[in-house]
Amino acid sequence: MTKTGSKGGNLRDKLDGNELDLSLSDLNEVPVKELAALPKATILDLSCNKLSTLPSDFCGLTHLVKLDLSKNKLQQLPADFGRLVNLQHLDLLNNRLVTLPVSFAQLKNLKWLDLKDNPLDPVLAKVAGDCLDEKQCKQCANKVLQHMKAVQADQERERQRRLEVEREAEKKREAKQRAKEAQEREVRKREKAEEKERRRKEYDALKASKREQEKKPKKEANQAPKSKSGSRPRKPPPRKQARSWAVLKLLLLLLLLCVGGGLVACRLTALQQQPLCASVNTIYDNAVQGLRRHEILRWVLQADSQQ
């Protein structure tokens, strides 16, 4: 029988009370489904076959009390082998096992164990002992269970330690992230405040500029004399030019007074019969008549009135 396809009827033919003997059956695989259909078979003999592995669903055969897997080619047991909690007798003689799964510590009812002729890990081999007789196999079961419980406890502590390290690392990452977010919020807050201050200064500068522009025309209006309607105020002449113009006007006035005095003397006094006064009177009459006809008189009079 080289396949797992053994029919339930054939297995029942091999069933003797609660013992099922499948040894020397040239098995490469365990017929788990057919075995699961025979919960009455609490004693199972699979020795002297060609089994190199056990399927994970083999651990569902929790009704097993005695199991013989000796003289096979098993290199390891399923990770959840400890589910076989009712197992009391286990023979693993002459296989290729190096270690046992940590769940082995859950086989609390195990009373007998044989691990001889396996390339066991040195520590496990020392714990298991020689197992040369019934007493030593019982001691092997007890010592191996205690050892596997210690291994399980160590692994659990290591797992807890890793979890704690991961939690601490996660807390540090969260704290770092919170600090980063707080720093970013602070930077945004500072940038917002700086932008607000900049805009406020620009607003104040603009208001001040407007006030200066409003004051400037008022100052110019107060300093410059108002001109006639529709005309721009004339700029005051420089001081030096103003003094020269005043001297010139004074000289012209004196000249006019002299000329006027001479004219008055020539026209109203007895001097008008003199040849010089006659000439002056003639020039005056001709000049007056010419000026009256010429527009320059109006310009001179107008300019004089403006001055």
Reply yes or no on domain 11-154 having CATH 3.80.10.10.
Answer: yes
Q: Which residues of the chain have pLDDT under 70?
A: 1-9, 218-240, 267, 270-272, 288, 290-307
CB 38 within 8 A of CB 9: no
pLDDT of residue 284: 73
pLDDT of residue 239: 64
For the chain, domain boundaries? 11-154
pLDDT of residue 1: 42
pLDDT of residue 301: 56
- Count the Cβ atoms, other than its own, within 10 Å of residue 89: 18
pLDDT of residue 182: 93
pLDDT of residue 250: 82
pLDDT of residue 2: 45
pTM of full prediction above 0.75: no
Q: What is the DSSP string of 47-79?
A: -SS------GGGGG-TT-SEEE--SS------T
Supply the Cα-derived Rg of the chain in whole angstroms: 66
pLDDT of residue 187: 93
pLDDT of residue 111: 97
Q: How far is CA 198 from CA 186, 188, 204, in A?
A: 18, 15, 10
Rounded distance, CA 50 to CA 22, Å? 12
